[in-house]
Structure formats: C-alpha cells, structure tokens
Amino acid sequence: MIWLLVGYMWLFIHRPFEVWPWLGAYHVERVYMLATIACWAIAAPKTWLSCRNNVPVFLLAGTLLLASQTSPYANFAYVENWFKILVFYVLVITSLRSERDLRILVVAFVCITALYELHSLREFFCGRGQYTMGVKRMVGVDVTLGHPNSFGASVDYALPFLYPAWTLATKRWQKLAVLGAFGLGVACVLLTGSRSSFVGLCVFVLAGVLISRYRWRVLPVMAIVVSIVWLSLRPDLQNRYLTLVDPSYGPENAQGSAESRTHSFWDGMQSFAENPLSGAGLGFYRVKTGFATHNVYNEALGELGLPGLLVLLGFAWAYGADFLEARRLRGDPADLDELFLYRTSLAALGVCLLLFFLGWGAHNLMRYNWLWCGAFSGAAVCFLRQRAHERASCLDTESAEPGCPQEHVDVFREAGWDGNA
C-alpha cells in the first residue's frame, strides 16, 4: 500500500498529465487514485494514527464544506481540489503501520521533489521560463503549481526534509545525493526570481546553521559560499532581490506587487472585524479585486472568519506540540532510527513555520504541505511513543515481558532511562 501512495505522490507533485497534455485526456491521476482507494478498502491492513493535526485538518474540511455552501462567491471546484488532498491524507494516516513505512514516504517525498526540480531546471536551460517584473524566471514543468512563486515555495517546503533524509544516508553516495538535492533546491529558488521564496530560503539556511552544534565553524564558510553564489547570479536576478531593501532596483510594478500583500492583509483584517463569525465569505477577495488574496491571513480570517483563525491556531498547536513531545520522548542519541523520527518532527515544524512566514505573500491555506507534513510529524511522534513504551516495559521489572532481552535493558539504563518514561 505504501508504494501505491508513493506513486500518487509522484503524480501529484510532478503532474506528468500537465507536462504532457495528451495524457490529460486519460485522467491517469483519477484512475490511479480510484485503484489505490479500492486496494486500500479491500486488501490493505488499516490503522488510525492519533495525529494532533487531525484536529485542524478536519476542522478545515468542515469549514470549507460550510463556506462553499453559504458563500455566494465560492468556487466549489477550488474546494473540491482540496478534498482530493484530504483523501490522500486519510489514506496515509490509515496506512502507516511501521517506521519503515514512514521512512519510505519521507525519502520518496524528497526524491520526487528533486526529480521535479531537475526536470524543471532542464526545461529552463532549454529556454522555458516566464518573463515578468523585468526578469526571466524559472517555472515548474507543471501548470497547477508551476508559477515562479508557487514553484519556489514548493522547493522551500521540501528542503527541511533533507534533514531527516541525511540521517538515513549512511553511505557516501547517499550523503552526496542529499547534498546535491540541497544544491539543486537552492539553484531552483534563486532562478525563480521569487523574492518570498528567496527570503524563505535564507531564513531556512540561517536557522539550520544556528541550531547546529558546529555553527561557529559553519558561519564563516557560509559567508564565503553566499558571496560566491551571489556573484554568480545574473545581474537582473541580483536587482530583483535587491528590491527587497531598495525598490529603485526594480520596476514600479515590483514594488506594487509587494505592497499588495500588505493591503490584502489589512483588507482581510477589516473583513474579519466586520464579520468575525464567518468572514466576508470564501472567494470574496477575488470577486472584489479580480485577484486572489495572496495572503494566508486574509484567506483564513478575512474570508472564513473565526473558523479560519481556529484552523491556523490548530496547525500551530499541532506542529509545535508534536515537536515538543518528540524532543521529550527521544531516548538514545546514538539510535539513528530514533534520531530520524525526531528530525522528521523537527522538519515538519520547520515547514509549518515557513508556511506561516511565506503566507504573508501567498494564499497557501489549501496547500498539500499542511496535510502531508502533519501526517509525517504525527506518525513520527506515534512511533516515538511506541519506543518509549517499550523502554518503560523493559525497565519495569514487575511488569516486564518475559522475552525482554537483558541487553536492551542495559542499553536503556546506560541511556539514562529509569522506567518512568
């Protein structure tokens, strides 16, 4: 079942039916998903992960259902696409039965995203791109999330999961592959000319360096590498990113694009203040201005009202609580499998923070990353709980199972566990 889910992940991210339009007539993604659901319903063993993210996910599902029926501005096709993501989320949380399953999904997510980036980069060097804001910008090979801003954000949201992938890289070629995926992601973000994705990348890299135990060794090296990368950029891309500090480096519409995000936020807050219970209605901002909100806080609070606020707070609580529990439950620091679970939760929290941060300039409430990363984080915490329970059972001499190996007890005691996990 897990490998069927991996196949759908590739169809969803790479979207070959949009890369090669003739495939679209066959609706391969629908046929594949229906076959996967049938296999899940008939033959696959099922479980249910008690993920904290189930709370905001299903709250958002109920909110969208209600809003799509009550708002005169709602586009149900837009909502329908999100419910397809919800179906996949349910399949994941009911199919993840072991740590091996989680490792497969996380590594597959990293590899599929890298393949998508590599294909997009090849097409860019072959002449495909988008000329906007006075800059030739890299785009994704798909249509749905192929816009430079959307593509750059997709790359940003995938980068944190290179951290747990690095934990699994025990061979030299595997470590080189992870480093290559990181370099590929950085190159793609820089070539998109997306200022929000560029800032997100900078925040991610700086945060990664600061939480490292080798931060004081890495910082000087990073300063040199950043300087070399900056000097290697085309002048038009340099000017594009310099508009972040000095608008005179770019055309007037670039500054207007940045200011529109702030205007969208305040419009959303006004809509929320005028109707806090239900907001202005799903899709209101697009009808009012002809453009999407380009701001997740307008999208959630301004259009959905109090339920939208609860959804955002729910996601923040779920990801944060998962990470804190994972850090508490982490036992043996030398256990790579346990370290992978902890770093998966940390990576998911990093994606959550990026979603909130980049949400200032993007209406990303409907993005699949909220759900997928929530499933990964929830599964990691569930498996850490199982490990903590096993440790406690082995160390509790009164209730220990007869088959608990003595060497496991010795390892747990050396790691500082006293049976009160």
The pLDDT value recorded for residue 411 is: 43
Pairwise pLDDT comparison (148 vs 259), residue with the higher score: 148
- Pick from 55, 63, 57: nearest CA to 279: 63
What's the Cα-to-Cα distance from 165 to each of 158, 159, 181, 198, rounded to whole Å?
11, 10, 11, 23
pLDDT tops 70 at residue 402 = no
Q: What is the mean pLDDT of residues 396-404?
A: 49
What's the Cα-to-Cα distance from 35 to each of 17, 23, 29, 40, 101, rounded to whole Å?
17, 17, 10, 9, 20
| Residue whose pair of structure tokens reads 């620091």 in the numeric block | 333
Q: What does residue 397 show for φ and ψ, rounded to 5 degrees?
A: -65, -25
User: How far does Cα 410 stand from its chain's mean position?
Assistant: 39
User: What CA–CA distance (Å, rounded) separates 106 from 373?
Assistant: 9
Q: What does residue 135 show for φ and ψ, rounded to 5 degrees?
A: -135, 140
The pLDDT value recorded for residue 380 is: 93
pLDDT tops 80 at residue 286 = yes
The pLDDT value recorded for residue 404 is: 53
pLDDT tops 50 at residue 40 = yes
Q: What would the pLDDT profile of 229-266 be if each residue is shown by its tens digit?
A: 888 988 888 888 888 887 777 776 666 677 778 888 88
The pLDDT value recorded for residue 421 is: 39
Across the strands, what pairs with 25? none
Q: Report the b/e string of 359-380 with b at 16+ CB within 10 A.
A: bbbbbbbbbbbbbbbbbbbbbb
Where do the domains of the chain lie? 2-414
The pLDDT value recorded for residue 223 is: 86
Q: What would the pLDDT profile of 78-113 be if each residue is shown by its tens digit?
A: 888 899 999 999 999 999 888 999 999 999 999 999
| Residue whose pair of structure tokens reads 């370290």 in the numeric block | 339
Q: What would the pLDDT profile of 108-120 be if each residue is shown by its tens digit?
A: 999 999 999 999 9
* SS3 state of residue 387: helix
The pLDDT value recorded for residue 344 is: 94
